[in-house]
Structure 1
Amino acid sequence: MSEHSNNERIADLGFARVDHDREARNGVPEVIFGEGKRVEQISAIVARLRARHQRALVTRLDTERAEHVLRDHPDGQYDPVSRLLRWGEAPERLPGRVAVICAGTSDLPVAEEASQTLEWLGVEVARLNDVGVAGLDRLLAHREAITHADVLIVVAGMEGALPSVVTGLVRSPVLAVPTSVGYGASLQGVTALLGMLSACATGMSVVNIDNGFGAAWQAASILGLVARGVHPAPADFRSNTDIPDS
């Protein structure tokens, strides 16, 4: 690769414009959404990201296409449960720990997407699986681990009740992830989503259906704020749109 391409902020591949500047803005290189992309497209983007940032992450990638990409980049790690394909590690570890709490075994693909994304982002993860509200004793058996987590990601389908229960037990931020797991009236996760959005428990936020990646990113952002500290506020802040009194 030429010196010029190593310095470019955006690499134009024709079918994609790789945003190399994103790491400077957000602290993390661009992540590849695998669905809908051909294997040769994914492989070309991965090559650019690894050459520039020494790491890459592909989400929502099925096993067959992952095997094809690994022929070009054989040192990657693929997990068929989370459908994540990754190379490299975060240059620094973030402080704190995130507990990823999974209601049922059927929710594991989304929970593992969250857990393994967090690990790629440099976050320590504690996994609590199959602790849904159908048997609350399973959840309460881990109460110490739950209450000592700095951020919690709670993944649940069906009626989506588990995040409300967890939020009532902790003082840390809770990120709820509805999944598309359930029978017909669950409406492919819409019922869980609406239940979480309607919860009375305070301190809980909700991401989109099956979006374990989004929850992981938000949790890492929270821990990143702890690592770098808050931005100092100006002594006298006024919006640019403020109009002086006449």
Structure 2
Amino acid sequence: MSDEIDPRTADLGYARVDVDRAERTGDAEVVYGAGKSPEQVIGILRTLHERHPDRAVLATRLDEVALDAVGTALAGATLHPEARAVTLGPLPAPQGTVAIVSAGTSDAPVAAEAALTARVHGAGVVEIGDVGVAGLHRLLSVRDRLADADCLIVVAGMEGALPSVVGGLTGVPLVAVPTSVGYGASFGGLAALLAMLNSCAPGVTVVNIDNGYGAGVFAARVARRAAPR
């Protein structure tokens, strides 16, 4: 094995941070906080910020202890409790628009993660909440706002019907996010996931259960490419 230092990676001992990802993909590495100690999250965030001081870096899925620790240790860090996330550094100028459409208040943490992720990855964001299919008139009243976006993120639990309805109302690119919200037969979001995967509305793409981060990255890339150059 070679002892040469790979400039694309920062080896912190407990993590090999991919500091070259922004050069390859246009988006810097993000810290997935679940399962990491607050000290590990702080170390990785600091390393990414030192490499990319001109842009925000993101840590997701942080509990209250980690949020407090990061806020204390890193000057300039911004806490986003609803999204369970932290950003360090300035957000980029927005390009294009992502609309985050969520079914109910219980879906708000996942929707907030998607919205923050899209902003960190360079998109403008519009948030449209509490428009689930149980009150269909609420969705129809914002139909024009759906058509104005470059990409839609549709977040829903329970039976997961909202993306199919939205997909039948507009031809805007759409990524659906099933959440783990619901009663017993929702099986922790599996029912919503299967409903979205089986959507009869064309053009609906689906990420994993509660994966607001993955949806945010996808939508931001669509919006950035759709923005005037």
1:234 aligned residue = none
How many Å apart are 1:56 and its aligned residue? 1.7
2:90 aligned residue = 89
2:110 aligned residue = 110
Q: Is the 8 A contact 1:102 1:156 kept in 2?
A: yes
How many Å apart are 1:92 and its aligned residue? 4.4
Deviation track 1:85-139 (CA, whole Å, cap 9, x = no partner) reads 0012344432x21110000000000000001111112211111100000000111
2:194 aligned residue = 194
Measured in 2, the distance between the counterparts of 1:180 and 1:161 equals: 14
Measured in 2, the distance between the counterparts of 1:227 and 1:163 equals: 24
Measured in 1, the distance between the counterparts of 2:46 and 2:7 equals: 15
Measured in 2, the distance between the counterparts of 1:59 and 1:157 equals: 20
2:65 aligned residue = 64
2:203 aligned residue = 203
Aligned residues: percent identity?
51
Measured in 2, the distance between the counterparts of 1:74 and 1:135 equals: 44
How many Å apart are 1:228 and its aligned residue? 9.1
Measured in 2, the distance between the counterparts of 1:132 and 1:116 equals: 21
Q: Residues 27 and 67 (structure 1 numbering): CA distance in 2 closer, same or farther, change over 3 Å?
A: same
Structure of larger gyration radius: 1
Measured in 1, the distance between the counterparts of 2:163 and 2:204 equals: 8
Is 98-107 or 63-72 further displaced after alignment?
Answer: 63-72
2:181 aligned residue = 181
Unaligned runs of 5+ in 1: 230-246
Measured in 2, the distance between the counterparts of 1:228 and 1:31 equals: 27
1:244 aligned residue = none
Measured in 2, the distance between the counterparts of 1:10 and 1:162 equals: 41
How many Å apart are 1:224 and its aligned residue? 3.2
2:216 aligned residue = 216
> Which TM-score applies when normalising by structure 2?
0.93
SS at match of 2:169: coil
Measured in 2, the distance between the counterparts of 1:40 and 1:31 equals: 16
Measured in 2, the distance between the counterparts of 1:111 and 1:62 equals: 17
How many Å apart are 1:8 and its aligned residue? 2.6
Higher RCO by CA contacts (8 Å cutoff, separation 6 or greater): 2
Deviation track 1:44-77 (CA, whole Å, cap 9, x = no partner) reads 1111111110132100001221111222103111
2:37 aligned residue = 38
2:144 aligned residue = 144
Q: Is the 8 A contact 2:157 2:180 kept in 1?
A: yes
Q: Is the 8 A contact 2:123 2:224 kept in 1?
A: no
1:242 aligned residue = none
Measured in 2, the distance between the counterparts of 1:210 and 1:45 equals: 23
Given residue 72 of structure 2, which amino acid in structure 1 is its aligned partner?
R
**1:11 pairs with 2:22:** no
> Which TM-score applies when normalising by structure 1?
0.87
Q: Residues 129 and 91 (structure 1 numbering): CA distance in 2 closer, same or farther, change over 3 Å?
A: closer
Measured in 2, the distance between the counterparts of 1:228 and 1:138 equals: 31
How many Å apart are 1:153 and its aligned residue? 0.5
Deviation track 1:130-174 (CA, whole Å, cap 9, x = no partner) reads 000000011111111012111110000000000000000111111
SS at match of 2:153: strand
Unaligned runs of 5+ in 2: none
Measured in 2, the distance between the counterparts of 1:23 and 1:155 equals: 27
SS at match of 2:186: helix
